[in-house]
Amino acid sequence: MNAPVTGPRGNAAAAPKVPQDAALLEVSGLRVHFPFSRGSLLKPEHGVVRAVDGVSFRLREGETLGLVGESGCGKSTTARGIINLVKPTAGSVKLAGREMVGLREARMRPLRRQIQMVFQDPFASLNPRMTVGKIIGEPLAIHRLAAGRERKLEILRLMELVGLNPRFLNRYPHEFSGGQRQRIGIARALAVNPKVILCDEPVSALDVSIQAQVINLMMDLQQKLGVAYLFIAHDLGVVRHIAHRVGVMYLGRIVELAPARQLYNDPKHPYTQALLSAVPVPDPSAQEHRQRIILRGAVPTPDREYPGCAFAARCPIAEPRCQQVVPVLADKPHAAACLVNDPDAS
Amino acid sequence: MNQPVLNVENLQVSFRTDDGLVRAVRGVSFDIQAGETVGLVGESGSGKSVTNLAIMGLVPKPPGVVEGGHAWYGEQDLLAMSHAQLGRIRGHKIAMIFQDPMTALNPLMTIGQQLTEVTRRHLGINQKEANRQAIEMLDLVGISGAAKRLRSYPHEFSGGMRQRVMIAMALSCEPDILIADEPTTAPDVTIQAQILDLLRDLQQRRGTSIIMITHDLGVVANICHRVMVMYAGRIVEKADAVPLFQEPRHPYSEGLLASIPRWDQDDSELLQAIPGQPPDLAHLHPGCSFQPRCPYAEARCREEDPGLLPIADAEQRLAACWFDIRQRQGQWQTVGGEENVE
């Protein structure tokens, strides 16, 4: 693979602005479990849904880490756990070396300024009764960063930065299209000048032509501001395009983590291989030459603990030991939590 | 060419709104042959779903008005039929599957009741025979333990399974035409792949014609023989699937294909976004409706709408553009770009 690197996206290692070791956000052993009760009043059943079950990764300054996986794999809950929108059951989240899990609200606030979130649904995540100016300016008010004329100038600057015409300052969200609303959401997230933005399916509600506009905007902003993204999406094409590194989640865990190009060209985990083989390619002639890996059975439920590898029951290459030993994700550039394909997984 | 199973001629559908008359479908014509899969591709508001709702007589009136056109199913015009006549064809000869199976299935009825209701009504068979056939259909769409599952309610199935139940229901009367409106949008990729396999397999076995309505060009490349690209209520390009993907001949098709991030290719540059946004269908300007977003547009495009024109060097290919866009490529803007609001 000696193709010339055409931009900073080509290869994370080649990107000049990304330092190798400095972890801006360090998540280790993050668990988010939801207790539940079901069954009848007389015969109740109690259990725990292990939505996120031991997720670890590092996000570097100015880097984009993609998280992919099918619905229910825990990718959104991971993001929510990081900023305490749901309380982590266990694990640690460090921002620039400072632990965030277990902090009281007052201590959390200055740290939370550094991490912002952009949501999937630009129709539901903006207050319909607030003008665009109010929406973008609210974080500035909450964190007491700017007031009066200064705040207004800052709002106008942010609008310009995300490609919104400053003339629309006093309009309401319903007057904007989906793509523009997502721009508003991004401007609001950027208002407090964060180091990290957690993006939960930020473009999946948008039409393709508009989606491309927003992806380009996000890449452009990263270049200008050096902000890091945790980019959660189910669209593998979008993630490949925007992410330097990609993690694949299955049943609450990251099963493979690698630089984007390696992950897509040389997937090591059998689940990643099956997932990639199932995505249709927008090219009928390329489509003909593809081999599908068909997985047996349905995705198992996260409401119980599995003795070995949680994927073993559906895995085409599982060995007897996979039923007993839980594979680990090694700390190396391209790691797969697979006993068969990664020697460092046991 | 054989007699098409369905021939839609100059379909026009509008909606009366506070903002004026929204012209959702503006003269759409196409046909579909037996055993063929035709893709109707476009973004939100392109008119692809309304086209099919109109064919099925399901446009809500008011505010909807079918202002003109025909939909020939054999000798009969579906658009001129009474409710009762259409009711005998709908779900029987022409069936539909929807994006969200949860809203299309009745949560208070068992899967068995819903499956047999259709066949008893349209095929006039008794409950016992209908049950037997329902089990056969569930088997066919790959639901195991079908006899037992007949007593299950929709909420007891996963998303992919519900989609299969809906496909079983749609196919239970052996329709000539299956209209699939974004059938793979909700489920995950692995389930999506299974559903496409299932549709392809059923088509080969039964010769059903499929109209696939989708915004996902990957799905189109996967299953469609022919493709119609819709924009602002019109078909702007008609072509066989392979040549369309190889060489789009309308600027919108070209822009659409270029704006998809590909997971199977190393493309590290910015995406080719189409600048701006679709026009307001209540206040259309004369001329080509894609012109405000088109990188090739000239004065003529602002005044005259080209309509679908044959392409000189490609048989059976039509594009609604004055130009041969192959001579004009490389003019797309690739920045995030400001969107304009009127």
B80-139 pLDDT tens trace: 999 889 888 988 899 988 877 677 788 899 999 999 988 898 888 899 999 998 998 888
Inter-chain CB proximity B341 and A264 less than 8 Å? no
The residue-averaged pLDDT of B301-318 equals 85
A282-326 pLDDT tens trace: 888 877 777 888 777 767 777 778 889 999 988 999 999 999 999
In chain A, how many H helices and how many E strands? 10, 11
Residue A212 has its nearest CB partner, among B259, B277, B338, at B259
Q: In angstroms, rounded to a whole number, what is the distance separating the alpha carbons of residues B173 and B219? A: 26
Interchain contact A13–B (C-beta under 8 A) = no
Q: Which residues of A touch B43 (CB under 8 A)?
A: 207-210
Interchain contact B37–A (C-beta under 8 A) = no
Structure-block tokens of residue B335: 């920045």
Q: In angstroms, rounded to a whole number, what is the distance separating the alpha carbons of residues B6 and B52? A: 12
Count contacts between A and B (CB, < 8 Å).
Answer: 158
Residue of B nearest to A179 (CA): B339
Residue A163 has its nearest CB partner, among B188, B194, B339, at B339
Q: Which residues of A touch B220 (CB under 8 A)?
A: 282
Phi/psi for B197 (5° steps) reads -60, -45
Helix (H, G, I), strand (E, B) or coil at B302: helix
pLDDT of residue B327: 75
Q: In angstroms, rounded to a whole number, what is the distance separating the alpha carbons of residues A183 and A217? A: 9
Rounding to the nearest 10 degrees, give the CA dihedral for residues B37, B39, B40, B41: 170
What is the pTM assigned to this prediction?
0.84
Inter-chain CB proximity A208 and B272 less than 8 Å? no
pLDDT band at A6 (very low <50, low <70, confident <90, very high): very low
CA A308 to chain centre: 26
Handedness of CA A294, A297, A298, A304 (dihedral sign): negative
Inter-chain CB proximity A216 and B273 less than 8 Å? yes
Inter-chain CB proximity B218 and A264 less than 8 Å? no
Q: Is the pLDDT of residue B341 over 70?
A: no
B251-297 pLDDT tens trace: 999 999 888 888 887 765 677 788 888 888 888 888 999 999 998 88
Q: Is the pLDDT of residue B226 over 80?
A: yes
Of A283, A281, A239, the residue nearest A261 (C-alpha): A239
pLDDT winner (highest mean) among A28-42, A134-148, A290-304: A134-148
Residue A51: count of CB within 10 angstroms of its CB: 24
Interstrand relation of B20-32 and B6-17 (parallel, antiparallel or unpaired): antiparallel
Distance from CA of B246 to the nearest CA of A (A): 8
pLDDT band at A204 (very low <50, low <70, confident <90, very high): confident
Instruction: For chain B, report the end-to-end CA distance as a whole number of angstroms.
Output: 46
| ipTM of the shown complex | 0.79
Residue A71 has its nearest CB partner, among B188, B260, B269, at B188
C-alpha dist (Å) from residue A169 to A173, A287, B281: 11, 46, 25
Structure-block tokens of residue B300: 């003529």
Q: Which residues of B touch A163 (CB under 8 A)?
A: 336-339
Interchain contact A246–B (C-beta under 8 A) = no
Average pLDDT, chain B: 85
A55-73 pLDDT tens trace: 999 999 999 999 998 878 8
Of B269, B233, B225, the residue nearest B252 (C-alpha): B233
Q: Is the pLDDT of residue B305 over 80?
A: yes
Q: Which residues of A touch B158 (CB under 8 A)?
A: 298
Residue of A nearest to B42 (CA): A207
Inter-chain CB proximity A212 and B271 less than 8 Å? yes
Percent of chain A beyond pLDDT 70? 93
